[in-house]
Structures are given as structure tokens and as C-alpha cells.
Amino acid sequence: MQIIRSQPVVSEKFIKHLENTIFYEARISVGTNEYRTILFTADSQSFMESTVIIFLNSFLKKSSNQYKSEIKKAESILKPFIKD
């Protein structure tokens, strides 16, 4: 979170847009473990322009197939807060 706050431009090494979704992921590696947090930019379509970022859910990455279920989980967390 400190990197996101303090850097005017955040490297894709740390933040990456999840294709075909409205979400981004924060990427952190500790040893051989890779942790991911799904983010939502509440006030802008672009992560770099957003001033309100919502951290939805975090997980330990085990495989790329895991993303589908984690994205569905993020959508269900966010759904009550989004107006149609």
C-alpha cells in the first residue's frame, strides 16, 4: 500500500489490470509465495487517475485458473455498493 500511495506512477510489477474486468490486482512476492489483492477504482476508470481505491479480496496465488473464482468473489463483495 505504501508503494501505491507514494509513487506517481506504479509499475506493472506491483499493479496490473485484469483483462476483461473492471478490476486491478496488487501483486506482492514474498520468497516463493505470490500474494494478490483484487482492487477496484471507485472514482475513475484508470488506476493512475483514481483517488479512491477499494481493496476487495486477497489470496495466495496457486494457479492462473484461480483468478476466475477470485474475480467472482470480488464481484459479489462489490455488488451491494454499485448502483445499476
Chain segment 13-31, per-residue pLDDT in tens: 888 999 999 999 999 889 9
| Domain extent for 66 | 2-81
- From first CA to last CA, the distance across the chain in angstroms is 30
pLDDT of residue 44: 82
Instruction: Please give, one letter per residue, the 3-state secondary structure of 20-78.
Output: CCCEEEEEEEECCEEEEEEEEECCCCCCCCCCCEEEEEEEECCCCCHHHHHHHHHHHHH
pLDDT of residue 11: 77
User: What value does the mean pLDDT take over residues 1-22?
Assistant: 79
pLDDT of residue 4: 67
User: How many C-beta atoms lie closer than 10 Å to residue 78's C-beta?
Assistant: 17
For residue 62, is pLDDT > 90? no
Higher pLDDT, 1 or 72: 72
Convert 12-43 to b/e letters by CB count within 10 Å (16 or more is b).
eeebbebeeeebbbbbbeeeeeeebbbbbbee
31-51 per-position pLDDT tens digit: 999 999 999 998 888 888 788
Q: Number of structural domains, the chain?
A: 1
